[in-house]
Structure 1
């Protein structure tokens, strides 16, 4: 394979960093496209990441970093102009996955194309060039903009097309079976049971999609007043036949490159978790938040454990019921990643010192610990779980609860605080997902899982 002359490559990269945009969106977009094309030409002359030697990887990384610097420069000037172009001056609400690829089509070089992302999707995480980092730069810029960010949050709070297709059937029958969960209406409650049984109800791309559909259906159904989340029985040899709330992010999928930034890492926060916390957006023109959204109280039911993303979910629940032998943990620092919005929300539940012990030190909180009362409302024997859930449904089904929990949510986490945090999370999380220490940890864990038992 022929490679670029080193001097030519260096000159190309130096010219990139010196590129000065003039402030006109279309002219600067053309310059961006031309410059990123030069960086892509350098990458195209190199082998795939898995086959590069050290010098080749250094050259590739330099090209990637340079293109990213130019994208940041362009977005610093044109974020709102780009967003307005993509949404017809905010007259259209476009969900994040579609928005990212529309940006690739409309502003070449700004974010990876579908084809580039498809190539990456065929690789394990360690063998990717990390093009999701470029998506993260774009998403963070949108969320840093008050105008674009709020409009994007609105778009992600709207019902999904899949839920709108299923709502009539759910209203009629009170049941919807999705790939990774079961949604059932029992009385005035919608019970969501996780059934990702082969991985301890860990979250993956499928579960995130199914969860958003289920939350939409529960919020759209007028017969439902309360939502209930609970883990189903799992297949794992250690816990077979027992209910497990959630093991958090599926680290095997992370190792295999199957955890996406847009659909999973950002999609869960802007999608189903945000809908649980803030409600479903049904009227974009109403002035009052209470008129714009459908909101209902939610109950989290913890059997066995709630780890990582499972514990994060509890932080937006209105009532948490746990069995006496259960525990919760948020081992983000140990895994090397950022625990979603856990860093934003955990302090107001636990206080600063204990939150640091949980997030930075990996401390578990058992239901026998006094601190468990800061996370859970009711701690009951396993035999009393169903009765406790029924009691909580009755108490939270009172009409005034929805209005009051809405005001609590607004007071605890203003929309702009959420938006600004998520902008920084978009960059921090995707960078950690491609860091050497995380890649090494998930590889070691995967290798242990493949060893003969």
Structure 2
């Protein structure tokens, strides 16, 4: 099926749901139909109890997401942009950020503009050694407006975030790892293999505990420490009410692999 009819490929490989942005002719640029298809695919994977980890990558060997559709942006005025494209991209990116299922990015190539902004919403990021990241919007007289200006300053030192946004410079995969934007760089030929292996490792853990851990980390990051610790205390209390917690402890004592069910 052509990329115009199917801009997002969604498949399940065991307990891992794989989303592929399928617009290689446009370097996987994000437009409104693609974002809506991405949201629908994410919803499908979130509702599938058999999917424990969600992995996202780009089609082709050049780009993860090379950004937005510049011609489309140039055709818009502020209010129309705010009510249409900006509303959609903020909602979809936030859906990834708050998903209860762990998310992994396999960044197979250029992640520029919206590509870096999408990357910033994912839990774990593996990046191909040849990839380039950046927020070049300033060179167009714009600035990162899909969450990038706010998420970046919360994930890297402020002075480094400002340099990236003020200059629009691209950085290498190695620099992205050094900066803390990505977990590690791997050869492109091994990227999906390593990402799937990592996803499989996480998928073996309790999905209920992962969900509550994600909530503790996500919500706690926006709280004062005292409130965050109280929130953590509540979350671990909920975990100890689960069968998975007692299955894990029993398996350890009985020297056998745990069989987590998410209950």
Give the TM-score taking structure 1 as reference length: 0.45
Query: Across the two proteins, how many residue pairs are aligned to each other?
Result: 214
Given the alignment of the two structures, is residue 409 of structure 1 paired with residue 236 of structure 2, yes or no? Answer: no
State how far apart, in whole Å, the 1-side matches of 2:153 and 2:111 are: 18
Quote the residue 2:132 is aligned against. 327
Do residues 352 (structure 1) and 171 (structure 2) align?
A: no
Q: Is the 8 A contact 2:176 2:182 kept in 1?
A: no
| Runs of 5+ unmatched residues, structure 1 | 1-176, 234-241, 280-294, 415-453
Distance 2:149 2:142 in 1: 12
TM-aligned CA deviation for residue 395 of structure 1:
2.9
Task: Name the residue aligned to 1:342.
Answer: 148
Matched with 1:265 is 86
RMSD value, Cα: 2.1
Match in the other structure for 2:233: none
Q: C-alpha deviations, 1:419-441, integer Å up to 9, x for none?
A: xxxxxxxxxxxxxxxxxxxxxxx
In structure 2, C-alpha distance between the alignment counterparts of 1:318 and 1:278, rounded to whole Å:
10
Alignment match of 1:301 (pick from 96, 106, 112) = 106
* Higher normalized helix content (fraction of residues): 1
Tell me, in whole angstroms, the C-alpha distance in 2 between the residues paired with 1:194 and 1:369.
Answer: 24
Q: Which runs of 5+ in 2 are unaligned?
A: 224-263
Q: Say if 2:64 and 2:115, in contact at 8 Å, map to a contact too.
A: yes
State the TM-score, normalizing by the size of structure 2. Answer: 0.75
Q: Distance in 2 between matches of 1:345 and 1:255?
A: 25
Q: In structure 2, do the counterparts of structure 1 residues 411 and 337 end up closer, same or farther at CA, with 3 Å as the change threshold?
A: farther
User: Does the CA-based 8 Å contact 1:299-1:317 persist in structure 2?
Assistant: yes
Query: Secondary structure at 1:301's aligned position in 2?
Result: strand
The offset of 1:363, in angstroms, is 2.3
- 1:243: Cα distance to partner? 4.4
Structure 2 distance, partners of 1:407, 1:317, is: 16
Quick one: which of 205, 225, 250 aligns to 2:32?
Answer: 205
Residue 179 of structure 1: how far off its partner (Å): 2.7
CA contact (8 A) 2:106 2:192 kept: no
Report the Cα distance in structure 2 between the residues aligned to 1:191 and 1:336, rounded to whole angstroms: 35
Q: What is the Cα deviation at residue 263 of structure 1?
A: 3.3
Structure 1 residue 355 displacement after superposition: 0.1
The offset of 1:324, in angstroms, is 0.9
- Hey, which of these two has a bigger chunk of strand by percent? 2
SS at match of 1:320: strand
- Equivalence map 1:381-396=2 (5 Å): 381-396=187-202
- Tell me whether 1:216 sits opposite 2:43 in the alignment: yes
Structure 2 distance, partners of 1:183, 1:364, is: 29
- Offset of 1:261 from its aligned partner? 2.9
Shift of 1:332: 2.1
* Correspondence 1:173-192 to 2 at 5 A: 179-192=6-19
C-alpha distance in structure 2 between counterparts of 1:252 and 1:381, whole Å:
33
Shift, 1:389, TM fit:
0.9
Distance in 2 between residues matched to 1:408 and 1:274, nearest whole Å: 16
Correspondence for 2:54 among 223, 227, 233:
227
Shift of 1:218: 1.0
Higher relative contact order (CA 8 A, sep 6+): 2
In structure 2, what is the equivalent of residue 161 of structure 1?
Answer: none
Larger Rg: 1
Shift of 1:408: 1.4
Pick from 241, 248, 258 the counterpart of residue 67 of structure 2.
248
Looking at structure 1, the residues matched to 11 and 53 of structure 2 have their Cα atoms a distance apart, in angstroms, of 12
Deviation digits for residues 239-275 of structure 1 (CA, Å, limit 9, x no counterpart): xxx24100111102222449843332122212x2111
Tell me, in whole angstroms, the C-alpha distance in 2 between the residues paired with 1:351 and 1:216.
33
- SS where residue 387 of structure 1 aligns? helix
Q: Residue 210 of structure 2 aligns to a residue in which SS?
A: helix
